[in-house]
Structure 1
Amino acid sequence: MRRLELQEIHDHPKFPNFLRDLVTDALQSLWNFGNSYEPILARLLQSMKYAGTREVLDLCSGGGGPWPRLARELDLQQQDSQILVRLTDKYPNQGAFEQARATTQMLQYEPTPIDATRIPADLRGFRTIFSSFHHFGPDRAREVLEDAVRCRRGFGTFEVARRSPKTMLTICLLPAISWLLAPSIRPFRWSRLFWTYVIPVVPFVLFYDGMVSCLRAYSRQELEELVEPLAKVYEWHMGEERRGFLPVTYLLGYPVREKPDFAD
């Protein structure tokens, strides 16, 4: 199945901000529940080491993405406490960002809108994108990669979404899981219950956008084609991490220094 260029509801500029925040809050609860990206943490830390930085600039963070859970994993491992992660988004969910920052000093956030294709020069760090690189069509995806290379920043993108029956069947469970998790999301809001149970906009958007994300997701071969023109100046590693319930497609790159021993 070839990649399709479709529009996600919560990514549309006319989607109401209060509903977008409810959707990103729900997505955040799903990331915390599933911990889907823990298997790639070691690869990311290794790439940051070779990029020579302990700062992360997370793009398209939504409600915080997997970082609150990954930060807890780092705390449990009692290592890398000096890492600083700055959350950013084109439509920042400041309530969720504040809550994420309150859990650990490792997480900070940028309150102003940040477009991943136009990153201010003063925002430094290893750039990461979780579950959102598929939002960019091939031309804009190349712009994101080229800008990281031009600024000599490390770059990593990680996607659970993929064009596979197992992943798309799992997406069918998201509405039911969101119904179970909605009452536990903090801060508590009656509007969250209304738009989840009475008029189920949030479960529908999670299902629809989840399916669209799978259809838009880049395969490993397509990622290879995107970075091929940049291979001479950057070290790129891509593949699929399969230790979790769903495999994670990853792409990691940093300025050429020396080659680590990756098990692709």
Structure 2
Amino acid sequence: MQAALTAAWTTHVPVIQRSSPASLVARLLSSRVPSIHSYTFIDFCAGAGGPTPEIEKHLNSSLVGSSKTTSNTSYAEAASAPPPVRFILTDLHPHVDSWSAAAQRSPNVSFVPTSVDASSAPADLIRQEDGKKVFRLFNLAFHHFDDNLARKILKNTVDTSDGFGIFELQDRSFGGGFLTCCLFGLGTLLAAPYYAIMWGAPMALIFTYILPALPFVLVFDGWMSSLRTRTAAEVENMLRGCGGEGVEKWEVSSGSESFMWPVGRVNWVIGLKK
């Protein structure tokens, strides 16, 4: 299931999709977070890795591309370009094996092998040795928290961090919730042979076609997630009422970006400390 959800984030089918959701999130971060090189991005609900390694790849590739030497840029200036943006994977239940594989693929991805509680982040994680500001990521995760826990997480964010991003692939609308999840189930049926080979998991075929637990659970879980997904206004109201110090210094923006017509959208909320 986690591999299927990761595939939903990272797969890009030409013609059908404008881009993968992960590459769209990378573009949102690069365009919405000023002085992005001054931040370290920490995924507080990384699960088995999710989209964060793919977001890192797209984000740093775009930053390198935008800073390439041109006729108006000296080689000295190019050589002194800021280093790549770092991403750190954490979770209450660490997936060290999966994270190790992601870290081996990119020097800009690291992880915390011990349990990390997003409502009480460790001081040594929040205080980066290089002096970078902390930006918290919640990819397809914030809807998992009930209201009390969500407020605690937002309070801890306000008290200890400089930015956050909430990215969801569903919402409470008919199209963005019910229909999107149904299409996800259909996509699972079509793509199961390919992913069974890619993942080296032939049992995925049995649990897709003979005993269709995988598509059923993914669709049902998606419906429940849609019902639990907060609107941007609800997130901001929760932020303003979380009791964090200096909450009035935070600016919140939000939107919904299409990655696949007619219903595939990334719904986002980004908060930045002024």
* Common topology (TM > 0.5): yes
Deviations, residues 18-43 of structure 1 (Å, cap 9, x unaligned): xxxxx111111121115224334344
Instruction: Check 1:120–1:197 CA distance in 2 against 1; reply closer, same or farther (3 A cut).
Output: farther
Instruction: Check 1:179–1:62 CA distance in 2 against 1; reply closer, same or farther (3 A cut).
Output: farther
Deviations, residues 200-238 of structure 1 (Å, cap 9, x unaligned): 322222111111111100012212211224674432223
After superposing the two structures, state which structure 1 stretch, 158-167 or 72-81, moved more. Answer: 72-81
User: What is the aligned length?
Assistant: 234
Contact 2:162/2:273 (<8 A) preserved: yes
RMSD: 2.6
In structure 2, the residue matched to 1:4 is: none
Deviation at 1:51, TM superposition (A): 7.8
Instruction: Check 1:39–1:105 CA distance in 2 against 1; reply closer, same or farther (3 A cut).
Output: same
Aligned counterpart for 2:233 among listed residues 201, 211, 221:
221
TM-score, length basis structure 1: 0.77
Q: Does 1:237 align with 2:252?
A: yes
Q: Does 1:175 align with 2:185?
A: yes
Matches within 5 A, 1:240-255: 240-245=255-260, 246-255=264-273
Q: Does 1:147 align with 2:156?
A: yes
Question: Computing the radius of gyration over CA atoms, which structure comes out larger, 1 or 2?
Answer: 2
Deviation at 1:48, TM superposition (A): 4.7
- Identify the structure with bigger relative contact order (alpha carbons < 8 Å, sequence gap 6+): 1
Instruction: Check 1:227–1:115 CA distance in 2 against 1; reply closer, same or farther (3 A cut).
Output: same
Contact 1:234/1:253 (<8 A) preserved: no
Q: Does 1:112 align with 2:90?
A: no
In structure 1, the residue matched to 2:70 is: none
Alpha-carbon distance between aligned partners in 1 of 2:3 and 2:258, rounded to the nearest angstrom: 26
Matches within 5 A, 1:183-194: 183-185=193-195, 186-194=198-206
| Matched-pair identity in % | 28
Letter aligned with residue 26 of structure 2: L
TM-score, length basis structure 2: 0.74
In structure 1, the residue matched to 2:219 is: 207
Contact 1:81/1:106 (<8 A) preserved: no
Contact 1:48/1:54 (<8 A) preserved: no
Alpha-carbon distance between aligned partners in 2 of 1:111 and 1:42, rounded to the nearest angstrom: 28
Structure 2 unaligned regions, length at least 5: 13-19, 65-81, 127-133
Q: Does 1:30 align with 2:30?
A: no
